[in-house]
Every structure is written in structure tokens, then in C-alpha cells.
């Protein structure tokens, strides 16, 4: 089968031929139709992600497709079922074996490319805003990186949860995408001062931050007393340093969120969230945004699009049709 990945950390990812995997006890094999890309794929290829499987390594954390084989002692889901899965790696391939418990049944009306763009972005934002930050109706939410994969879903979900949303992104084109997702106020991080602009709007009660670096520092200073900052990533490449005495004085909570980590110690947080989100999608309440689709043969270009920040929302690699 074709698979896209690395032979060693730091080597350019490439398309290669690998054996078709066979499902073991408790596993199913997915014929992959599409796989969403995430910033974590770039970090994993360099050996810098918090999960560090050893090469040779097939990239891709967000596959969707059909069950085509079931391992010994595995009752469900049945062959032919349409599913998505969250995995540490392996999704950018024609076939993938995963524990059956990692599979989520898809709504009948959800296309595979949408399913591949859905779980991590919406799941991270829903758990971050609801479970971690307890975002309330009428509060002000500041979303950094608001046109990216997770940032754009935070804008959309924040509005659904009744918040006033301030979206911060780079350039007019990306801000227009955030506006379409429901943002009430827009900040261009290239030309505007985040701290002063947010404070002029009354400050932020909750900050959703997949960026880090200088933007975290500015948002911290614009957070209201008793505010909450949800840290979901460091797309800027800089991990901020937090002065604990400032947390104390302002009564601010900084909350770390690694969505996939819940699968190890509280999987019900993720499964309950996804049930809610798939329900909202089925009702027509969510509109996933995919700016780029590439075939598997162009997976390197898909990663470059993500790395160079040419995308808005999600980048998806399509693999099989059916």
C-alpha cells in the first residue's frame, strides 16, 4: 500500500510502499478515504511532538474511512461501517489498523473529507471552552490564531455557546474567514496591538491560545480578573513563560489542554464531547471549513501549505473514493 511518512526524524517526509497491516485482537482495519492534517504532524516528523513514536513512521492523526477487516475477538464496528478515528500516527496511508474503541461512527450525511477535518479541531475547542474554561453565555472570548484549524472552530463554538467573540488573525483574508464563522470583533495581529485593542473592548474573560509567544503575553495582559486562558499549542514556535505572581494578583487561571491525552486517563471526556459535536453537525449547526484538499500523491505539498500558513481552517488529504 501507499503510505506517507518518514524514515528518520528530520528527514523530508515521502510517499513509500509499505505492507498492508493486519488487525490484531480488539482492532479493526480502516480503508482510509481521507485524513486531516494538523500542526502536530509537522512536529512529529521532526521528533518534537509530545507523542514520539519511532521511525519508520507514517504520519496522519485524523483518518476517516470504512472498516474493511476485523481482528480476532472484535465485536464491533462491523465491516462496511463508516468511521473516523483519532490516532497518534498512521492515517496518511491506504490502510490503517486501530483499536476498535478509537473508532467513532459518522453521521450518514457527513462526507469523509469533513470527518477527517472534524475530530481534533472541534474536539479540542469544545473540550477547551466547555470542560476546561467553563465558558459562559455573555462572556468575552478572545481567540488567537482564529483562522487556523482549531482557532476557527473556537470562534464558531464560542458563538454557539453564547459568548462575544474577538478573533485575532494575520491579514484581512484570514480575518474575513473568522468573521464568516461568527466573530463579533476582529484584530489583525500584523498591524494592531492585541493588548490595547482587547482592553478597549472590555477585556477578555476567556482566551483560547494555539499560538503562544508574544501573542500569549499580550492576551495575558488583556485578560480580566478571574479570567481563564486555555493553552492548546505554540504555533509561533515560542513557549511563553508565565509569572506566577501575576496569576495570583489578577486571579487568572492558565489551563493546559492536550485533547488526545484525555484518551489515556479520562476517555469519556472526549467521547461525550464528540457525541455532542456530531449531534450538532447532524442538526446542521456546524460548518467545518476546509481550505485545501490534496490527493495522497501531493501530501508533501499539503504539509507545506500547513507549514507556510497558507491555509485557513483545515487541510485534508484524500486517499480513496467509494
On whether both 9 and 79 belong to a single domain, the answer is yes
Residues 61, 95 within the same domain: yes
Q: How many domains does the chain have?
A: 2
Write down the pTM of the prediction.
Answer: 0.88
- Domain harbouring 167, CATH code: 3.40.50.720
- How confident is the model over 122-135, as a mean pLDDT? 97
Q: Is the pLDDT of residue 293 over 70?
A: yes
Reported as type and span, the H/E element at residue 199 is: helix 194-200
Nearest to 156 by CA among 178, 188, 128: 178
Lowest mean pLDDT among 53-57, 127-131, 180-184, 193-197: 53-57
Residues 312 and 247 grouped into a single domain: no
**Cell numbers at 236, concatenated:** 509561533
188 and 98 in a common domain:
no
Whether the Cβ atoms of residue 218 and residue 192 lie closer than 8 Å to each other: no
> Does residue 213 share a domain with residue 128?
yes
Same domain for 125 and 254, yes or no, is yes
Instruction: Say whether both 149 and 225 belong to one domain.
Output: yes
In a domain, 38, yes or no: yes
Report the pLDDT value the prediction gives residue 322, as an integer from 0 to 100: 56
Whether residue 84 is found in the same domain as residue 133: no
| Predicted local distance difference test score (pLDDT) of residue 206 | 98
Q: Is residue 149, in this structure, part of any structural domain at all?
A: yes
Residue 193 lies in a domain: yes
In a domain, 277, yes or no: no
pLDDT for residue 136: 97
Both 114 and 124 in one domain: the answer is no
Same domain for 142 and 254?
A: yes
Q: Answer positive or negative: Cα dihedral of 6, 297, 36, 302.
A: positive
Domain residues for 98? 2-118+288-318
- Per-residue confidence band for 27, with pLDDT thresholds at 50, 70 and 90: very high
Residue 91's CATH number: 3.90.180.10
- Shared-domain flag, residues 99 and 140: no
| pLDDT single digits (tens) 247-283 | 999 999 999 999 988 988 898 898 889 889 999 998 8
User: 174 and 72, same structural domain?
Assistant: no
Q: For the segment 148-200, what is each residue's pLDDT rounded down to a tens digit?
A: 989 999 999 999 999 999 999 999 999 999 999 999 999 999 999 999 999 99
* pLDDT at site 132: 97
Mean pLDDT, range 74-86, rounded to an integer: 90
| Structural domain includes residue 274 | no
| Residue 279 lies inside a defined structural domain of this protein | no
Percent of the chain with pLDDT over 90: 81
What pLDDT shows up at residue 52? Answer: 82
pLDDT, the chain, mean: 94
Q: What is the pLDDT at residue 26?
A: 94
Please tell me what DSSP assigns to residue 32.
E
**What is the average pLDDT across 113-123?**
95
Residue 89 to residue 300: CA distance in whole angstroms: 16
Last residue within a domain, chosen from 240, 260, 280: 260
Residue 271, domain member (yes or no): no
Amino acid at each position: 500500500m501507499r503510505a506517507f511518512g518518514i524514515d528518520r526524524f528530520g528527514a523530508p517526509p515521502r510517499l513509500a510502499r509499505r505492507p498492508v497491516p493486519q488487525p490484531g485482537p480488539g482492532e479493526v482495519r480502516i480503508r482510509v478515504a481521507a485524513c486531516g492534517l494538523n500542526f502536530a504532524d509537522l512536529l512529529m516528523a521532526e521528533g518534537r511532538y509530545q507523542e514520539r513514536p519511532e521511525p519508520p513512521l507514517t504520519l496522519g492523526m485524523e483518518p476517516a474511512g470504512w472498516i474493511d477487516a476485523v481482528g480476532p475477538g472484535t465485536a464491533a464496528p462491523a465491516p462496511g461501517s463508516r468511521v473516523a478515528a483519532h490516532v497518534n500516527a498512521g492515517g496518511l496511508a491506504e490502510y490503517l489498523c486501530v483499536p476498535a474503541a478509537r473508532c467513532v461512527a459518522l453521521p450518514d450525511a457527513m462526507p469523509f473529507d469533513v470527518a477527517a477535518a472534524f475530530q481534533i479541531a472541534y474536539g479540542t475547542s469544545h473540550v477547551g471552552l466547555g470542560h476546561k474554561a467553563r465558558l459562559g453565555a455573555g462572556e468575552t472570548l478572545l481567540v488567537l490564531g482564529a483562522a487556523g484549524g482549531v482557532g476557527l472552530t473556537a470562534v464558531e463554538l464560542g458563538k454557539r455557546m453564547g459568548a462575544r467573540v474577538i478573533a485575532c488573525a494575520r491579514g484581512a483574508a484570514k480575518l474575513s474567514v473568522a468573521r464568516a464563522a461568527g466573530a463579533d470583533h476582529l484584530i489583525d495581529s500584523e498591524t494592531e496591538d492585541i493588548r490595547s485593542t482587547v482592553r478597549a473592548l472590555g477585556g477578555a474573560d476567556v482566551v483560547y491560545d494555539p499560538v503562544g509567544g508574544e501573542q500569549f503575553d499580550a492576551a495575558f495582559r488583556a485578560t480580566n480578573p478571574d479570567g481563564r486562558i486555555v493553552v492548546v499549542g505554540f504555533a509561533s514556535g515560542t513557549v511563553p513563560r508565565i509569572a506566577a505572581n501575576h496569576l495570583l494578583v489578577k486571579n487568572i487561571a492558565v489551563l493546559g489542554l492536550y485533547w488526545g491525552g484525555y484518551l489515556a486517563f479520562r476517555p469519556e471526556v472526549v467521547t461525550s464531547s464528540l457525541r455532542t459535536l456530531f449531534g450538532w453537525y447532524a442538526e446542521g449547526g456546524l460548518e467545518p471549513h476546509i481550505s485545501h484538499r490534496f490527493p495522497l500523491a501531493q501530501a508533501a505539498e499539503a504539509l507545506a501549505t500547513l507549514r507556510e500558513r497558507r491555509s485557513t481552517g483545515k487541510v485534508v488529504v484524500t486517499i480513496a473514493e467509494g
